[in-house]
């Protein structure tokens, strides 16, 4: 197994109509997490914690540069406030993919004092399917 960078990573995210859009060029950075809930089941007879793993989850925060060209990031996320649809999101790097059905919960734009117009779009797991790298 070789160590690698995240260079060449791609992101395909559905628009609100369910059409897959490759918006990798608009994305500057992203954070993903695949946490698991846990239940403490430590009995009185133990000197260390015992736990059970419970539900799996997935969160994502995608950040990018504003692009209102057809089928690019603004087209994908502009309907977040007005639609309640899960969007298939697939991340790919080095032949590994992580697909998921995601509810994006915000599409926030920010204009800095230097004139940069950027956005962030946080998302959470929608469909109850455990996110799995393939």
Q: How many domains does the chain have?
A: 1
| Domain limits for position 111 | 10-40+48-125
Is pLDDT at 72 greater than 80 in this prediction?
yes
Is position 132 within any domain? no
Is pLDDT at 74 greater than 80 in this prediction?
yes
Instruction: In whole angstroms, give the CA distance from residue 104 to residue 117.
Output: 20
Max CA distance (Å), the chain: 63
Instruction: In whole angstroms, give the CA distance from residue 102 to residue 13.
Output: 9
Instruction: In whole angstroms, give the CA distance from residue 93 to residue 10.
Output: 7
Is pLDDT at 1 greater than 80 in this prediction?
no
Q: Look at residues 13, 11, 44, 15 and name the one whose alpha carbon lies nearest to residue 29.
A: 11
Over residues 91-134, the pLDDT tens digits come to 999 999 999 999 999 999 999 999 999 999 999 999 899 999 99
Is position 102 within any domain? yes
What pTM was estimated for this model as a whole?
Answer: 0.90
């Amino acid at each position: 197994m070789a160590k690698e960078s995240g260079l060449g990573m791609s992101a395909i995210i559905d628009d609100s109509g369910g059409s897959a859009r490759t918006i990798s060029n608009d994305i500057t950075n992203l954070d993903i997490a695949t946490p698991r809930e846990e239940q403490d089941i430590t009995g009185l007879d133990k000197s260390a914690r015992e736990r059970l793993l419970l539900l799996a989850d997935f969160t994502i925060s995608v950040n990018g540069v504003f692009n209102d060209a057809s089928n690019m990031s603004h087209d994908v996320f502009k309907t977040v406030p007005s639609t309640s649809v899960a969007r298939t999101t697939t991340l790919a790097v080095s032949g590994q993919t992580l697909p998921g059905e995601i509810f994006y919960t915000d599409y926030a734009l920010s204009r800095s004092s230097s004139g940069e117009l950027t956005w962030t779009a946080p998302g959470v797991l929608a469909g109850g399917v455990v996110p799995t790298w393939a």
